[in-house]
Structure 1
Amino acid sequence: MVKLLTKGILTLLYLTSVAESREFRFDYTYNNDTEGWWKLHRIPGTWNEARLRCHAEGAVLASPLNGHMLRVMKTIMTTNSLQRGIFSGIHATLSKAVYTSVEGVPLARIPVSWAPGEPDNYENNESCLLLSPNGTMADVNCTKVFPYICYKKDTQSVVQPECGTIDTEYFLESRTGSCYKFHYIGQTWHQAYMTCAAEGGHLAIINGFTEAQAIKELFAKYPANTIMAFGTYSVFLGFSDWNKDNTWVTVHGETLGYNIWSFNQPDKSQQYDLVMGQWCGGMFRWGLLDDMWCDVITFPFICEKSPDSLLPKA
């Protein structure tokens, strides 16, 4: 009983009412002392995966930049029994042994201490910092996997009522009732899938001719010279040949609502190679479907979200 009460008290120290988190997104919780929102990712990831996920959610990989933030992070670990610790946003991936947070705050200005025997830079290959529940730090290999916390500072960002997000690049398409965002900085299909999910949506799914026209018009707004990707002639969308048997389904596991392929497509280039084959879906600039390499080269992509996907359920 005492242990449960202690956990409850610790939780109250950093949580305010869930209602306050509605100003950002439903899966983040606001804390007054740190003037920002917090979210724990229990599923472990590499440091770079953690950084990218937090960034895609509109936040940063959390670091204990001050005493208040350190207390919140320790409390989250304690209440969730994360005894091994969590990745912090403090790293030296840009220059060996030059540690800063992802916001650029140098380690010397961050109120943490090293765990016994740390840092040891084991095998000269440890450039990320792990925060333990007792508040001490240890250097670890960035490719190892640990849970992590994302933090969004309250900067008076205004949530768009039409799309329910602070991301101003999303817009509501009246013809479909969905919100869309064109990512002109290319990624692989799997990276794009993660980015859209983190933004509260999914890779865009074309449900019919009207939506196909809307997607085609959106793509046309970005000429090839404005796109930062290897491929500029097609855009990744939310469908793939999951089983590699020419059965194309959406990322929601449904059959294609729009199934108009371009000439000679799908051609399954290098189909003899299960790794390099074109198993992911997209659209050519002229509005017809294309089978594309999932992870070989980067392409632009389009995310789709419902206006209420980041809002709490009523």
Structure 2
Amino acid sequence: MKLHRVPATWNEARLRCHAEGAVLASPLTQSFLPVMRKLMLANNITQCGAFTGIHATLYKGVYTSIEGVPLARLPIRWAKDEPDNYENSEECLLLQPDGTMADVNCSNTFPFMCYKKKTTNIVATACGTSDPNYYLEPRTGSCYKFHHICQTWHRAYMTCESEGGHLAIINSNTEAQVLKELFAKNPTVLSPCSYKDIASLGFLDWNRDNYWTTIHSETLEDAGYAMWSKGQPDNAVTRNIPQHCGAMFRTALLDDVQCEVFIYPFICEKKPDSLEEN
């Protein structure tokens, strides 16, 4: 189990846990509840509480855990005057430090815990991860993973970070060739996808003033690669959405894309020693 101290909305917490190969934790048994409380108290979560995976977002009033366990089968002890469904807008359950539950608005932000069942015989690859889809590239010394399921640029960023890596950054012509070859090995991506021949990378126009830097705050030139495709960046506006995030064509030449709404495949990068967080 892993506690995230930085508050998030319920849905963002659910997505973050999913990206880590886990689920948003719920007190599924009587013995599980004190474990969750102990983790909260050890991290000084003594005032507000933490989101659980128990929700009624699919149908009003029908609460289940992320795993589908109905509320009636969960060891729930309600806080005083709860649940109250304040203003008919509370569909997510919060575990309070004293072990009681309260219903809250899912759009509020709270800390949360991710839970993954213990697995035996986990084998770490040369990339320092149990994910077999990362491979070590000797020409660069980095590991890469091509994601076929398209996401917005921001969601892709979160996914790579959750895997212990980051959206890939091109630091040389050699690395550009590596990513070009990786893209070529993946001629098809899973639908739906806004653009199948563009992959999100780790750079952006951070201040929206046409000053492009990597997600690690280097200019593209300082990072080692600034080869734009002809006519790019053009900040083409589609559906009134400008282009402030970075990507590459299959040629490895750079492109600017929308950060939200439109979804693309993407490439994650990690160092071999950047082990996944426990």
> TM-score, structure 2 length as denominator?
0.92
**What is the aligned-residue RMSD (CA, Å)?**
1.9
* Aligned residue identity for 1:139: D
Q: Residue 282 in 1 paired to residue 247 in 2?
A: yes
CA drift at 1:224 = 4.1
Give 1:32's aligned residue: none
| 2:108 alignment partner AA | K
Structure 2 distance, partners of 1:105, 1:236, is 37
Alignment partners' CA distance in 2, 1:39 and 1:57: 10
Question: Retained in 2: the 8 A contact 1:182–1:302?
Answer: yes
Show structure 2 runs of 5+ residues with no match.
none
Alpha-carbon separation, structure 2, partners of 1:136 and 1:205: 45
Aligned to 1:50: 13
- Cα deviation for residue 58 of structure 1 reads 2.1
Q: Deviations over 1:164-219 (max 9, x none)?
A: 11222212122211111111111111111111111111100011111111111211
Partners in 2 of 1:78 and 1:57 — Cα distance?
Answer: 23
1:163 corresponds in structure 2 to 127
1:215 matched residue in structure 2: 179
Q: Which has the higher helix share?
A: 1
Alignment equivalent of 1:183, drawn from 126, 133, 147 = 147
Counterpart Cα distance in 1 of 2:45 and 2:232:
51
CA distance in 2, matches of 1:157, 1:231: 38
What is the deviation of 1:124? 2.0
Shift of 1:267: 0.9
**Residue 246 of structure 2 is aligned to residue 246 of structure 1:** no
Match of 1:72 in 2: 35
Q: Residues 157, 54 of structure 1: CA spacing in aligned structure 2 closer, same or farther, 3 A cutoff?
A: farther
Following TM superposition, by how much is the alpha carbon of 1:115 offset from its aligned partner in structure 2, in angstroms? Answer: 1.6
Task: Tell me the percent identity.
Answer: 63
Q: Which runs of 5+ in 1 are unaligned?
A: 1-37
- Please give the residue correspondences for 1:191-230 in structure 2 after superposition, counting only pairs within 5 Å: 191-224=155-188, 226-230=190-194
Q: Does the alignment pair 1:299 with 2:264?
A: yes
The ranges of structure 1 where at least 4 consecutive aligned residues each deviate by more than 3 angstroms after the TM superposition are 224-228
Q: 1:227, 1:300 within 8 Å by CA — same for their partners in 2?
A: no
Partner of 1:147: 111
Amino acid at match of 2:15: L
TM-score by length of 1: 0.82
Query: Aligned equivalents of 1:40 and 1:280: distance in 2?
Result: 30
193 and 62 in structure 1: CA distance in 2 versus 1, 3 angstrom threshold:
same
